[in-house]
Amino acid sequence: MRDLDLLPKAHLHLHFTGSMSVPTLRELADREHMEVPDALLDADALEIPPDKRGWYRFQSLYEMARRVVRSEDAIRFVMRRAIEDDAREGARRLELQIDPSGYAGEVGGLQAVLDIVRDECRAASAETGVSVGLIVAASRRRHPLDARTLARLAVRNAGHGPGEVIGFGLSNDERSGNTADWAPAFRLAKRGGLISVPHGGELLGPGHLRQVLDALKPDRLGHGVRAAEDPALLEELAARGIALEICPTSNVNLGIFSRQEDVPLRQLMASGVPIALSADDPLLFLSRLTDQYRVAREVHGLGDDELAGLARSSIAASVVPDADKRRWSREIDDWLASPA
């Protein structure tokens, strides 16, 4: 059986604070002289019954973890670990989401957060070989005017070098607010050359996904797994080439599906919609990038050719030069040619 850590792939849906492992959080808390709740340090994520899982538990834990990241050194530490962890799992490309608002008060402002992150990305990318781009993500828990501020910030920091901003997103509870209210921020970002990568189609179904498509004009969708409930919508996504950042373990941990077997991965693949398997928040879901491919293999029965196809799809959906995509695709060929 081929080693999935060695399969070249792109990681397109990973949140900054949630990128930590439990050991990383422990080490950071010790460095910052902070206490961390046991709920963030245990290994019981999947032991919670489906009817007890859900968004609010997740969000409260995420906020607890975010409070540990309260200095420049902490921001650098989290960013470097995220890149190093992905390097060990065969990621050639990481596109990481960050809302600078959550850290700006600790380091002197929104731009300061991005300056720190970009600087650490440049160093870690040079050392690991992982290509890194950033997605500035607004939050549905904040006013849409705040999103416009972040969109302007994202455009000012746009580029294709290590740690530069390549996209603009919208995260948090998709049941909050009126999606169309964030459209002006996304128009600003699009005019500035950034791709649109909002969350949608996880907590709410196809009806809300259509609102996201109409208002925010996504190039990729964070999650989108519930598009499987509407064959016509799936057909439209496939025709438009809008990739879905599918996070199987996250879907189960948040109670969207009770079991991994219920995640409609094969249905999505059969529809022709591009898919990028991603980890979302390893700290909360205790599952990293390679684990998503392992679920695809062990639960959904995908063979190595199909897993390689998913890896190619993730690379194709990433924002990198075509030359990089061709090179990484050849490396996937090499993985398939290696002994099983």
Catalytically active residues are 202
159 Ramachandran zone, left/alpha/beta (phi>0; psi -120 to 50) = left
Whether 96 and 17 have beta carbons less than 8 Å apart is answered as: no
Specify the pairing of strand 243-246 against strand 275-277.
parallel
DSSP state of 281: -
Distance of CA 99 to the CA centre of its chain: 13
User: CA dist 14 to 17, 48, 72, 250, 271, Å?
Assistant: 9, 23, 20, 11, 24
The bridge status of strand 220-223 relative to strand 195-196 is unpaired
Burial 14-24 (b: 16+ CB within 10 A, else e): bbbbbbbebeb
Distance CA 123, CA 117 (A): 10
Hey, is 91 helix, strand or coil? Answer: strand
